[in-house]
């Protein structure tokens, strides 16, 4: 049976990292709307060109655009066995559109995981976040295992790790404000549907991963159980 998951939490909560690991474990795609937009910006597509200024301000790209992106992505063959959504939905309108979309492809959500992390830790994580411009692997230059890292260990690219343009103090403050106003209400929305699993997202990646697995026992029953 397919496993359809959604990761919910503020920027810097570690959703992307955990979504990536969990998706790999289950052999299903991680669908990150932030990654899709960054790729569009990099490829200089029409959507990318329009989204860039909005992302740089820490605002949300329009619902129409985002819903279209997610619909196209979910229709791809590799999502038939499940998916881990990261960064979508960001507001109630997107959540309702997702619900309609998933009904139409008969792929109901199995769980929504909310990442709880305090704002001081978010600031620390975002200030230290770097990614490989070649393969996208994310590191934190403040973490013990990757302290001061400058180059990717995953793909051995010779390029320096880079910081996201929206990971600066000003934009992060706006992104957190947008999260509080528009995205946080989704926690209650999904709690009311009985789908919410909350985890403590403080601490090291492996600790958070263990907590994530503990709230999703169906993932331990083997891939495509
Ligand atoms: P993220 O990588 O999820 O932090 O997203 C980076 C930026 O992309 C956000 O600050 C928004 O500008 C934009 N973005 C990503 N996902 C969405 C979404 N579902 N709706 C609107 N904007 C989004």
Ligand 1 pocket, residue 58 CB under 6 Å: yes
CA torsion angle 165 31 78 92 (round to 10): -140
pLDDT above 90 coverage of the chain, percent: 91
Strand pairing category for 138-140 and 129-131: antiparallel
Summarize pLDDT for 78-130 with one digit per residue, the tens: 999 999 999 999 999 999 999 999 999 999 999 999 999 999 999 999 999 99
How many other CB atoms are found less than 10 A from the CB of residue 184? Answer: 14
Q: How far does the centroid of ligand 1 lie from the alpha carbon of residue 177, in Å?
A: 13
- Tell me what pLDDT residue 222 has: 52
Q: Catalytic residue among 50, 71, 164, 213, which?
A: 164
Q: What is the pLDDT of residue 148?
A: 93
Q: What is the pLDDT of residue 221?
A: 66
Residue 32 and residue 87: Cα distance in Å, rounded? 6
Q: Is pLDDT at 220 greater than 70 in this prediction?
A: no
Stretch 164-193: mean pLDDT, rounded? Answer: 96
What pLDDT shows up at residue 60?
Answer: 98
Would you place residue 1 in the very low, low, confident or very high pLDDT band (cuts 50, 70, 90)? confident
Q: What confidence tier does 26 reach under pLDDT thresholds 50, 70, 90?
A: very high
Residue with the bigger pLDDT between 156 and 173: it is 173
Active site residue 15: yes
37 lines ligand 1 (CB under 6 A): yes
Examine the pLDDT at 224 and tell me if it is beyond 50: no
pLDDT exceeds cutoff 50 at 223:
no
Active site annotation includes 90: yes
At 38, the pLDDT band (50, 70, 90 cuts) reads very high
Nearest Cα neighbor of 64 from 43, 76, 81, 50 is 50
How high is the mean pLDDT of the chain?
94
Q: Is the CB–ligand 1 distance for residue 201 below 6 Å? A: no
Q: Which of 90, 130, 197, 211 is catalytic?
A: 90
Ligand 1 pocket, 66 CB below 6 A? Answer: yes
């Amino acid at each position: 049976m397919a496993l359809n998951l959604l990761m919910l939490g503020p920027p810097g909560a570690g959703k992307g990292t955990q979504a990536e690991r969990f998706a790999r474990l289950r052999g299903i795609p991680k669908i990150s709307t932030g990654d899709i937009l960054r790729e569009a910006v990099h490829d200089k597509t029409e959507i990318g060109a329009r989204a860039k200024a909005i992302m740089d301000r820490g605002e949300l790209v329009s619902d129409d655009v985002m819903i279209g992106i997610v619909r196209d992505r979910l229709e791809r063959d590799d999502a038939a066995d499940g998916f881990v959504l990261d960064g979508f939905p960001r507001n109630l309108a997107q959540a309702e559109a997702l619900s309609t979309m998933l009904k139409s492809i008969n792929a109901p959500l199995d769980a929504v995981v909310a990442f709880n992390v305090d704002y001081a830790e978010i600031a620390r994580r975002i200030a230290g976040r770097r990614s490989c411009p070649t393969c996208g692997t994310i590191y934190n230059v403040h973490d013990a295992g990757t302290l001061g890292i400058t180059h990717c260990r995953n793909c051995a690219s010779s390029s320096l790790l880079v910081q996201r343009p929206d990971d600066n103090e000003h934009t992060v403050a706006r992104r957190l404000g947008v999260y509080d106003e528009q995205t946080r209400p989704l926690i209650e929305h999904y709690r009311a549907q009985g789908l919410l699993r909350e985890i403590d997202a403080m601490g090291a990646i492996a600790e958070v991963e263990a907590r994530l697995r503990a709230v999703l026992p169906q993932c331990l029953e083997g891939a495509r159980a």
